[in-house]
Structure 1
Amino acid sequence: MAEKEVLGTDMPRAAIDKFVAPVQRFLKVESTAGIGLIVVTFLALLWANLSNETYNAFWHLPFDFHIGSWSLGKALGDHAPSIGWLVNDALMTIFFFSVGLEVKGEIVQGELHDVRKALLPILAAIGGMIFPALIYLILCPGEAHHGWGIPMATDIAFTVGCMALLGSRIPHGLRVMILTLAIADDIGSIIVVAVGYSSGVQWSALAIAAIFLFLTWLSFKVGIRNLFVHGVLAIVAWFCFVQSGVHPTICGVIIGLLTPVTPMVAKTYMDRLIVTVGDAVKENRPMTNDQRKEVLDMLERTSRESGSLQGRLNTHLQPWVNFVIMPLFALANAGVVIEPKAISAVTFSVALGLLIGKPLGIFLVSFAAIKAKICRLPNGVNWRILLGGGMLAGIGFTMSLFVASLAFDDPAHAHFLAAAKVGILSGSFASAILGVIYMKLISKPSAAAEVPAGPTE
């Protein structure tokens, strides 16, 4: 009992904790972010179809920021800021920063660290990007061909939500493979945005951005801990990207990849500190209030810096990304008037790219790689289950909407954008519904973990 008192397990809880704790538990459920996106998507559709004028007018409301005589609007020039711009170019940079943090963690310590383990998901992701793009270009070769990148993406939040709903019907091997595939898919989508949807590059602005990115790397390298310094460098680099013509979200990805994974405090120092404090507690040495505060401050600082900056930032950002930024993006971009003229070849090309191209590309490339003995299926996964995983990966949504907004950003192509949105929504929801039904039919909860692996040759 004395140990419990020392460790503080019986610390009194504030009355508000009784109300906050259930909310915190709910927000940690994997399917919650996906459910939130579905709700916001329907709200956007409802708003756009009831009053499309107010929907469009709201997101085009001017947004500006002043410091003395300096104005963000004047500084951006042709990029006149609006509420929609704030969401798509500013807040989405934070989303892509979190993607960069996630990718950095996976490359250094996660599934992408071991090339042999990551090879199958990476190859599958490539197949899951090429086939949808080919289907789009075959079905839509004319003026709207610029939208080839729209059906290439996988939405992690929706896909994870669907897998959470399926529970033990999803073998652990498939869950890891699909998550790794989605991360590799994100990397591919970032490359697509950088290469396919950046035009009129201002090299001088990009060079200045590169200087500030180098300073960011250098500040991490020398161990500067002040996040204000990193934040200022990041904002200046982002502003230069806006001016350069390269989409500013790429800046967020790069800074995420630069963020260190190594803890600031060495393990040997932490071990010595724990032993020192432990000895002081055991010996019950008398300490003044100032000494106690100094020890506790040291423990708090050491605890904070014993983890990596990448992990700490990723943990703090995830709730904001999942429950603020992504829902705002969906609200700003998912609204489209559902009417016959909004359905065209673009709609079918995007929907079929997600619904058929994704699972087909993932399955065929995986099949070819395994037959060629380059890699093998994960434990507990056979060919039928792999096909179901490919179907769930056909949920494009967030990234697809983002690419669509870049592909058809010309007002003259507004009808293509509307058609693409209908295709994204219909293709993503069809992939989710059919994927969940298919997995429920072919995988039993009790046997999900014991499904024999598919042939490896």
Structure 2
Amino acid sequence: MTSQRHRLFHRPGSWPEASRITEILRQETIGGALLIVAAVAALVAANTGDWYGDLRDTVVGPSALHLDLSLGTWAADGLLAIFFFVAGLELKREFVAGDLRDPRRAAIPIVAAVGGMVVPAVLFTVINLGGSLRGWAVPTATDIAFALAVLAVISTHLPTGLRTFLLTLAIVDDLLAIVIIAVFYTSDLEILWFLVALLPLAAFTVLVQRRVRVWWLLLPLAVVIWTLVHASGIHATVAGVLMGFAVPVLRRDGNEGPGLAEHFEHVFRPLSAAVAVPVFAFFSAGVAIGGLEGLRSALRDPITIGVVVGLVAGKTIGVLGATWLASRFTRADLDSDLTWIDVTGLSMLAGIGFTVSLLIGELAYGPGSAADEHVKVGVLLGSLIAAAAAAVVLRARNRHYRRIHEQETLDADGDGIPDVYEQ
């Protein structure tokens, strides 16, 4: 029998929080399917002629504002700012009003995310000693949309607690990736431009704190903030995160119900999942393999090997090992419905890196460089291996998950709230 001292860190959270996360997972799953389609289209396009590279490198935008950027850069710097804005909203929502405001519930997913970033970075570094180490952060990121799309394909009925754990791990993973991009991949910092950017950011903050939501006020401010942050040398996606953090989570009247952050999530999450991330994937995932010899050349590169090993072995060891250590030394325990096999499958699934991994690869080695092309091969290959390994484990648990799901949705008293949340 589990001791009362043990904290069941995979148990379901509150019913409102579980309902909200279910809706998020549904949207992310659809976005993940579009992401896969975009990635496949990019691979086909990159290997069927020069038109793909020409399109990606087409420069548009006003040169007077230093915004004469290629379409590929616009996708990475511009569209991904929407993705990181939603990530900022979700991060603040989780730690202000979500179940993760309880440090005991948040501790183990955070520890797991840190372990899932440290171990892949160490493995990449060891493999590339004496070579190029700038890509050490490439295998540290988990793509939640891609991971959830894989879950949808293999028809796994994961328990709510485990799904929440996966989402939390990915959210913390995004936060750490944002810090890494801002600290380690910012070059030629122009501090004056960043200080100037704080002025429209302050105006944006005042407006949203007053619960102003009219687009003709907020959108121009957002464009100015993004432009100034881009000019500062800090990656422009950080502007999206800063604006997400500025949006209030709680209602101004103190009553229960969705606040402005949740309203913006509903508005921008579909745009992020269905447009921003797939378009970025199309412009970033295309790699001209160059036939069998080109593939062999990529697979001999320590950069490619480091990315693959980091995603496949590093993520599994890091997430699973950190979770076990946290459970061991904090006396937390698994829910009675789960086993460590479930956590192992989840850890393998965390090895699916895509959006942020490709972005860091471009920042580390430069878009279109030989090293960046090898990063793409490593990310694609590592993600496919991680997805296949996770599918083997999770499909074996499919029937067990389905039984648990049926119990969780049982509503014997007909009050609209599953009985498991009333116990």
Q: Is the 2:349–2:387 contact (alpha carbons within 8 Å) kept by the matching residues of 1?
A: yes
Counterpart for residue 319 of structure 1: 270
Q: Displacement of 1:180 after TM fit?
A: 0.6
1:436 and 2:391 are equivalent in the alignment:
yes
2:96 aligned partner, one-letter code: V
2:349 aligned partner, one-letter code: L
2:54 aligned partner, one-letter code: A
Q: Is the 1:173–1:380 contact (alpha carbons within 8 Å) kept by the matching residues of 2?
A: no
Counterpart for residue 366 of structure 2: 409
2:362 aligned partner, one-letter code: S
Q: Which of 158, 179, 183 matches 1:170?
A: 158
**Runs ≥4 residues deviating over 6 A:** none
The 5-angstrom pairing of residues 137-176 of structure 1 reads 137-167=125-155, 169-176=157-164
Deviation by residue 1:122-154 (Cα, 9 ceiling, x = unmatched)? 000000000000010000123420000100000
Q: Check 1:56–1:191 CA distance in 2 against 1; reply closer, same or farther (3 A cut).
A: same
Counterpart for residue 334 of structure 1: 285
Counterpart for residue 45 of structure 2: 47
Q: Secondary structure at the match of 1:90?
A: helix
Counterpart for residue 409 of structure 2: none
Q: What is the RMSD computed on CA atoms of the aligned residues?
A: 2.2
Q: Which of 317, 322, 335 matches 1:360?
A: 317
The 5-angstrom pairing of residues 11-26 of structure 1 reads none
The separation in 1 between residues aligned to 2:220 and 2:229, in whole angstroms, is 14
Q: Check 1:316–1:379 CA distance in 2 against 1; reply closer, same or farther (3 A cut).
A: farther
Q: Is the 1:166–1:440 contact (alpha carbons within 8 Å) kept by the matching residues of 2?
A: yes
Higher mean C-alpha displacement, 398-407 vs 306-315: 306-315
The separation in 1 between residues aligned to 2:156 and 2:246, in whole angstroms, is 36
1:347 and 2:337 are equivalent in the alignment:
no
1:74 and 2:64 are equivalent in the alignment:
yes
Q: Which of 31, 34, 49 matches 2:32?
A: 34
Q: Secondary structure at the match of 1:144?
A: coil
Q: Check 1:327–1:225 CA distance in 2 against 1; reply closer, same or farther (3 A cut).
A: closer
Q: Secondary structure at the match of 2:99?
A: coil
The separation in 1 between residues aligned to 2:336 and 2:182, in whole angstroms, is 36
Q: Secondary structure at the match of 1:146?
A: coil
Query: Greater Rg, structure 1 or structure 2?
Result: 1
Counterpart for residue 258 of structure 2: 307
The separation in 2 between residues aligned to 1:378 and 1:63, in whole angstroms, is 53
Higher mean C-alpha displacement, 253-262 vs 122-131: 253-262
Deviation by residue 1:68-88 (Cα, 9 ceiling, x = unmatched)? xxxx32111xx6312112211
Counterpart for residue 118 of structure 1: 106
Higher mean C-alpha displacement, 435-444 vs 91-100: 435-444
Deviation by residue 1:133-191 (Cα, 9 ceiling, x = unmatched)? 00100001234200001000000111122233455542222111111111111101111
Q: TM-score, normalised by structure 2?
A: 0.84
Higher mean C-alpha displacement, 318-327 vs 163-172: 163-172
The separation in 2 between residues aligned to 1:132 and 1:146, in whole angstroms, is 14
Q: TM-score, normalised by structure 1?
A: 0.78
Deviation by residue 1:200-248 (Cα, 9 ceiling, x = unmatched)? 1111001111222222222223343433222222221111111100001
Q: Check 1:223–1:169 CA distance in 2 against 1; reply closer, same or farther (3 A cut).
A: closer
Q: Secondary structure at the match of 2:47?
A: helix
